[in-house]
């Protein structure tokens, strides 16, 4: 029996802002949207991938979600880390400084989405 990762879900306060962030910052595309009376699901994916990020917008949520200390981050790979970092700075997304693991060169940086979820951008 083989299992395949298909999506991860995060809850968002403003679906439009979150969709805009993920499409502009990372080039994800909205694959589909499911509208219900009290919540909306928006599935985004990279053009060449099939793993999806599910954004859940609960229409009656009035307070920001508590991210807790268990969540860490999503990760996306990129061919040119420094160029991606510059682009995110120019877009006003305030990425964290470029970093690397001890003894390694620059390998990654983090950026926060509109709800405070961290996204790690990794040199591939």
Positions annotated as catalytic residues are 120
Of 53, 54, 44, the closest CA to residue 23 belongs to 44
Of 32, 83, 82, 80, the closest CA to residue 53 belongs to 32
Sheet containing strand 118-123, edge to edge, reads: 74-78, 118-123, 108-112
3-state SS, 36-58, equals CCCEEEEEEECCCCCCEEEEEEE
Q: Are 54 and 7 in contact (CB under 8 A)?
A: yes
């Amino acid at each position: 029996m083989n299992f395949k990762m298909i999506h991860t879900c995060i809850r968002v306060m403003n679906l439009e802002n979150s969709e805009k962030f993920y499409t502009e910052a990372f080039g994800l595309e909205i694959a589909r949207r499911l509208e219900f009376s009290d919540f909306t699901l928006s599935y985004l994916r990279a053009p060449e991938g099939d793993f999806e990020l599910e954004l859940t917008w609960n229409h009656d949520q009035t307070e920001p979600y508590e991210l807790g200390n268990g969540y860490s981050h999503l990760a996306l790979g990129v061919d040119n880390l420094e160029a991606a970092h510059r682009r995110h700075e120019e877009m006003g997304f305030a990425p964290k400084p470029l970093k690397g693991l001890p003894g390694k060169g620059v390998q990654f940086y983090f950026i926060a989405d509109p709800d405070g979820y961290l996204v790690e951008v990794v040199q591939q």
